[in-house]
Structure 1
Amino acid sequence: MRRDDTQGMTHMTHANHSPLWRAALLVAATCLLPTTAGAQGSALPLQQTACTFSGMVHELRGAMKTGSPAYRKYVLEQLKMAAKAMPAEELLAMVSQEREPDVLEALGKALVSKAGFVEDASLVQPLLQRAQGDADPNLRAAALKGLRATGSVDMMARNGNVVTYEQLIRDSSPVVREAVVGNLVDESAKVYFGHDKAVSETAVSTALASPDPEVAAKLLREVSMEQVGSETVGKLKGQLRAENPTLRAASATALGGVPGAESAGATGSLVELYRNEKDPAVRKAALEGLVRLGMSGARPTLQSLRGVAPAMDPEIDAWLAALNLNLQEWHLLLREKQRIRK
């Protein structure tokens, strides 16, 4: 493939939407599917057939029930590729009518793929409507999972924030709330590698909107905070006074990952938390946050906290011992501290 062809596919210019490009996609989406999917990935002869959505979804349905993981992935990729060129109406209708959670999730992924390709975020609205309003919580969760590991926060914003994660986290079903958390954690880690401000700040606002402290705490612990702004840092500081100790601890952990420009204020808040807190788990999280913020520069702060809560002094000593190893990477320092404090 020529360089300009590669750039065209990467950047999705208007030329990509030409009849020739659409035709090329249709050719690329020609199916090579076995007549029956092997449950253990058994080798079956492939037959070339023209792809239609109905035929591909029928094959997907069988793959979800009896196919190997590799075969399911293959069929899903075929569906996503075909979705870019096939008429949106057929896919939208299937998304609106599907009743099997696994198939709905796959159709959602295909719809999101098409929405990104044609640069029309409004295409995901039927998927978001199911995530918000379907009577079956498993289908609501499946619709949400269709957005996983994509730029869903940006897509929701470009769709006018008609449906948001802050709304969805209030769902009455745990499986839906878990899907919200999974989407934001994966998007932060796997799509933007912790470097997207909008995703991180959406995770904080979603956590604050959650009626479930455990769900909120999971978001704050697992989503990167390295790009958040001052306003969001202020919100995290406010959660250090939350009634639930798990939420206070998660907020302390989150504050440990804020940008360097916010580190002085975050350090002061964590020191105050450690001095006034009674829960050992929260104090432990505060120490971890302080070390992450300051790394080797955290030594004087840790030393100043010895004796505040004598039972916690072994935790401080473990951090000081780990810091003496002069490790420069946070994950290595954390691993060594955990080894020391077994």
Structure 2
Amino acid sequence: MLHAHRSPTWRVALLAAAAWLLPAPAGAQDKLPIERVTCSFGNMLEDLRAGLKTGSPAYRKYLLQHLKEAARSMPPDELRAAVEQERDPAVLEALGAALATHAGFTEDPSVLQPLLKRASQDADPAARAAAVRGLRGTGSVETLSKNGHTVSYEQLIRDPSPEVREAVVGNLVQEDATVYSGHDRTVSETAVNTALASPDPEVAAKLLREVSMEQVGSETVRKLTGQLKSESPTLRAASASALGGVPGSESAGATSSLVELYRNEKDPAVRKAALQGIARLGLSGALPTLSSLRGVAPALDPEIAAWETVLRRGLQEWTLVLREKERIRK
């Protein structure tokens, strides 16, 4: 790899492009000597540090991807040492992602121990959050399990720092959506357990609303049903929405619980979430149940009518049903 003397790679690339487009002035090589240097991890880290501070979004993306690709075959000792010593949160996150990539490629989750230690024990909350985000987009739930649950998302969600808790939620939501497309039972059930371990109802509610429940088992459905009696209306509403996405084998019990919630609840937002859950569980088969709830809360009868209108159209894709219902209620 060619570098301008004592210059980062991106500057060399820019100068090289300019030199290709324009004739080189006389004596230019004397003014800007080019030397061949070893493309070492230290050079890569130096470029990463500079690029994350001053580079364009495209260049930063390139640097991060380049480091992750290089990490697959890189001996892990330098990476582990860098993770242990790094103080810049942005660089730590990038190093953590590289180490997680190496762990996945080599199927050796034990190399992540320094990153997990930073995530759970570092005195700086920004560093803890960065270490957690380093696991994002990987099979982190399985990785944490293979590390003997020495660190867990249920533990990290109780961190006093909102940034760390936000990082935990982001990891689980992204892993569910992009790594497993909502089809992994362990990830979904970990998200529920993590939500229930959270002391912050808003954080718990975000997890329950945004992680797929299509593969969860009976025990997790029972936990969700129990949260319908939470003191937090936000958590009751999120639990009702989550119950709407449980497997068909659990739909009868979930529907019964949501009907009971609708009849006894006083908060309009929670009642709306219960109606949505009922509609999602049954689609067109939910019409009789929805009709039976007319008059329980007269102010919400128009909401029931909107669901009935949409469900009679026979749409089978939930995203289309939800979009159409929202259009009707605007």
What TM-score results when the alignment is normalised by the length of structure 1?
A: 0.88
Matched, 1:340 2:311: no
Q: Which of residues 285, 292, 295 is equivalent to 1:304?
A: 292
Pick from 140, 143, 146 the counterpart of residue 155 of structure 1.
Answer: 143
Distance 1:52 1:36, change over 3 A: closer
Give the Cα separation in 1 of the matches to 2:312 and 2:68.
51
In structure 2, the residue matched to 1:247 is: 235
% same residue: 69
Q: Kindly state the Cα deviation for residue 37 of structure 1 after the two structures are TM-superposed.
A: 6.2
User: Aligned in 2, Cα 1:32/1:209: closer, same or farther, shift over 3 Å?
Assistant: farther
Preserved CA contact (<8 Å) 1:290 1:298: yes
The residue correspondences of 1:36-185 to structure 2 (distance < 5 A) are 36=8, 43-45=14-16, 49-185=37-173
Gaps of 5+ in 2: 18-33
User: Are 2:185 and 1:197 aligned?
Assistant: yes
What's the offset of the Cα at 1:32? Answer: 6.9
Aligned residues: 311
Alpha-carbon distance in 1 for matches of 2:118, 2:284: 49
- Name structure 1 gaps, 5 residues minimum: 1-30
In the TM superposition, what are the counterparts of 1:186-265 in structure 2 within 5 Å? Answer: 186-265=174-253
- Paired residue type of 1:152: S
For residues 76 and 51 of structure 1, the distance between their equivalents in structure 2, rounded to whole angstroms, comes to 16
Partners in 2 of 1:113 and 1:32 — Cα distance?
A: 27
| Secondary structure class of the residue paired with 1:318 | helix
Q: Which amino acid aligns with 1:234?
A: R
Deviation sequence 1:100-157 (CA, Å, 0-9, x none): 0110000001100111111111111110110111111111000000000110000111
The 1:188/1:33 distance shift into structure 2, 3 A limit, reads farther
Does structure 2 conserve the Cα–Cα contact (< 8 Å) formed by 1:207 and 1:220? yes
Note if contact 1:105-1:143 (Cα within 8 Å) is conserved in structure 2. yes
Letter of the 1:281 partner, please give it.
A
In 2, Cα distance between equivalents of 1:169 and 1:56: 33
* Distance (Å, rounded) in 1 between the aligned partners of 2:39 and 2:226: 54
* CA distance in structure 2 between the aligned counterparts of 1:33 and 1:164, rounded to whole angstroms: 43
Provide, for residues 231-252 of structure 1, a one-character-per-residue CA deviation record: whole Å limited to 9, x for no partner: 0000000000000000000000
> Does the residue aligned with 1:110 lie in a helix, a strand or coil?
helix
Superposition CA RMSD, Å: 1.8
- Against the structure 1 CA distance between its residues 223 and 52, is the aligned structure 2 distance closer, same or farther, given a 3 Å change threshold? same
- Aligned mate of 1:267, from 234, 242, 255: 255
Name the SS for the 1:45 alignment partner.
Answer: helix
Contact 1:130 1:140 in 2 (8 A): yes
Q: Which residue of 2 aligns with 1:284?
A: 272
Greater Rg by CA: 2
Residues of 2 paired with 1:63 and 1:209: CA distance?
A: 38
Match of 2:31 in 1: none
